[in-house]
């Protein structure tokens, strides 16, 4: 028994295109949440939100926190996409695959660091200031 190839739908325009894009983004989010790293980042975001609530962070800090957290999830999604493509192109070990995955991991790590630095700065300023 052979699998049927997926049906490729023609591109739509206007509002229908936006609805299609939202559906693709939702599918991407579901795929991202299959990654334990993304789920851990969501826990970290929740911890950051609890800390912000505890110190009564101002609205501007909440907005910056939300933007940084969205950027973190975006970088995690791109890292996951890189890993999916690399695993397909290089199923065995290769230096190219290792470097691509290491660079993706670095990007995520730097975004986590940026988030941690910001949360720590806001909390420290609230507690000490």
Domain 36-128 sits in CATH at 1.10.287.3610
Span 39-55, pLDDT tens digits = 999 999 999 999 999 99
Where do the domains of the chain lie? 36-128
pLDDT tens for 73-92 read 999 999 999 999 999 999 99
Cα 112 to the chain's mean position, in Å?
Answer: 10
pLDDT band, very low/low/confident/very high, at 17 (cuts 50, 70, 90): very high
Q: Give the closest residue to 51 by CA, choosing from 128, 126, 129.
A: 126
What percent of the chain stands above pLDDT 70? 99
Residues designated catalytic: 76
CB 80 within 8 A of CB 35: yes
Beta carbons of 20 and 12 less than 8 angstroms apart: yes
126 burial level (CB within 10 Å; 0-12, 13-18, 19+): middle
Whether 127 has a pLDDT exceeding 70, the answer reads yes
Mean pLDDT over the full length of the chain: 95
């Amino acid at each position: 028994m052979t699998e049927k190839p997926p049906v490729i739908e023609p591109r739509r325009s206007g509002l229908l295109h936006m609805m299609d894009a939202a559906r693709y983004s939702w599918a991407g989010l579901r795929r991202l949440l299959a990654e334990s790293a993304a789920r851990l980042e969501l826990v970290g975001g929740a911890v950051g939100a609890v800390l912000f609530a505890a110190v009564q962070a101002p609205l501007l800090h909440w907005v910056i926190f939300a933007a940084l957290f969205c950027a973190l999830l975006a970088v995690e999604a791109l890292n996951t996409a890189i890993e999916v493509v690399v695993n397909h192109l290089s199923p065995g070990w290769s230096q190219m695959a290792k470097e691509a995955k290491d660079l993706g991991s670095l990007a995520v790590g730097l975004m986590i660091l940026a988030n941690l630095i910001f949360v720590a700065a806001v909390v420290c300023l609230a507690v000490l200031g």
